[in-house]
Amino acid sequence: MLSFLGRSLIQKIVTLFFVSVVSFLIIHLAPGSPSQVDPMNPKFTPEMVERFREAFHLDEPLHVQYLRFYADLLTGRSVSWKDNQPVLLKIWERFLNSLPLFIVGTLITWTLSFPVGIRSAIHRGGFYDRSTTFIAYFLISIPGFFFAYVLIILVVNSLEVPVIGMKTFGVGDASWIHGVMDRVWHLLLPSVLGATGGIAVLSRYVRSQMLEVESQDYVRTARAKGLTFDQVHYKHALRNALLPFVTMFGLILPGLIGGSVIIESIFSWPGMGRMAYEAILARDYPVILTVNFISAVLVLAGTLVSDILYVVVDPRIRL
């Protein structure tokens, strides 16, 4: 087991190095440059451009820029070109804003997807299965921005409450319980919107996995032995159907950094996805590369968690 985990860790470290190199090259080979002269701004002179390039080492070879950037990143000295703020501090502030959206959305998705998918598989072809299939494909097909505006209109018109931003303006003057409930209310709608697509996709995947396992010989044998309904479906079928979700569980970690640009933009939520989008528009290379690097770390950390969970749940890997 230790040799398996050791090989997996070494492979992920090597992968992370190549990801950092490729992402750095792609960013610098993309059209445009943060130091290009803006003809619409007369104050942005070629002399200022040259001082900018020297200050941020853009006049040096790419391999030197690569080493300087990751040295500054790992020592906490990397700053944003847009506002000269420390990149890690800037990302940490936005990360704390995206974290509640991620946690609530993930809990809603995984809590509802499994009961819906399992019941659809057990009652295959019935009214419940057909209804959930129709709703799932409808949620997958509907554009997220359109669904968001529909929800906003329905909630605002019916309940007459604000839903934009992280909190209501002026709520700080109220009691702390009102402040907490206001934050929860603003968090609920974007979290539900972010979870709808995940519920639709994951419930279909749970259904397909359960149907595949239900057709296996050992499940038919369990039925023939006279085991109860719960023992057949939840002890024999479900436990084996959960193995592929170990991989999916590890891959939800990148959602901590990615967020949703559309949801955060519509609801004016200052999260990670919106910050990355604004950094791309501003060609803020330190922020873009740092977000990409952290995303790669989370992806590889998630796959490492999946490897460890596989070792725990599957005896064949331990052997």
Q: Is residue 248 part of a domain?
A: yes
User: pLDDT digits over 45-65, tens only?
Assistant: 666 667 767 767 777 888 888
Q: Is residue 207 part of a domain?
A: yes
Measure the CA–CA gap between 18 and 238, rounded to whole angstroms. Answer: 38
Chain mean position to CA 91: 15
- Interior angle at CA 167, CA 165 and CA 170, nearest 5: 120
Q: Is residue 100 part of a domain?
A: yes
**CA-based torsion, 238, 243, 247, 250: positive or negative:** positive
Range of the domain at 243: 95-273
- Cα 132 to Cα 61, 115, 241: the distances in Å are 57, 11, 20
Residue 217 token pair:
């010989």
In this prediction, residue 252 carries a pLDDT of 75
pLDDT range class, residue 84, cuts 50, 70, 90: confident
Q: Is residue 260 part of a domain?
A: yes
User: pLDDT digits over 178-220, tens only?
Assistant: 777 777 778 888 888 888 888 888 888 888 888 888 777 877 8
Residues 6+ apart with CB under 8 A from 270: 94, 97, 166, 264
Q: Is residue 122 part of a domain?
A: yes
User: pLDDT digits over 122-158, tens only?
Assistant: 888 889 989 999 998 888 888 877 888 888 888 877 7
Residue 254 token pair:
């990148």
User: Total structural domains in the chain?
Assistant: 1
Instruction: Report whether 34 contacts 81 (CB < 8 A).
Output: yes
In this prediction, residue 275 carries a pLDDT of 86
174 HSE (CA, 13 A, CB side): 13
Residue 39 pLDDT greater than 50, yes or no:
no
Global pTM value: 0.77
In this prediction, residue 6 carries a pLDDT of 81
| HEC-encoded secondary structure of the chain | CHHHHHHHHHHHHHHHHHHHHHHHHHHHHCCCCCCCCCCCCCCCCHHHHHHHHHHCCCCCCHHHHHHHHHHHHHHCCCECCCCCCEHHHHHHHHHHHHHHHHHHHHHHHHHHHHHHHHHHHHCCCCHHHHHHHHHHHHHHHCCHHHHHHHHHHHHHHHHCCCCCCCCCCCHHHCCHHHHHHHHHHHHHHHHHHHHHHHHHHHHHHHHHHHHHHHCCHHHHHHHHCCCCHHHHHHHHHHHHHCHHHHHHHHCCCCHHHHCCHHHHHHCCCCCHHHHHHHHHHCCCHHHHHHHHHHHHHHHHHHHHHHHHHHHHHCHHHHC
Q: Is residue 196 part of a domain?
A: yes
Q: Residue 152: which CATH number?
A: 1.10.3720.10
Measure the CA–CA gap between 2 and 10, rounded to whole angstroms. Answer: 12
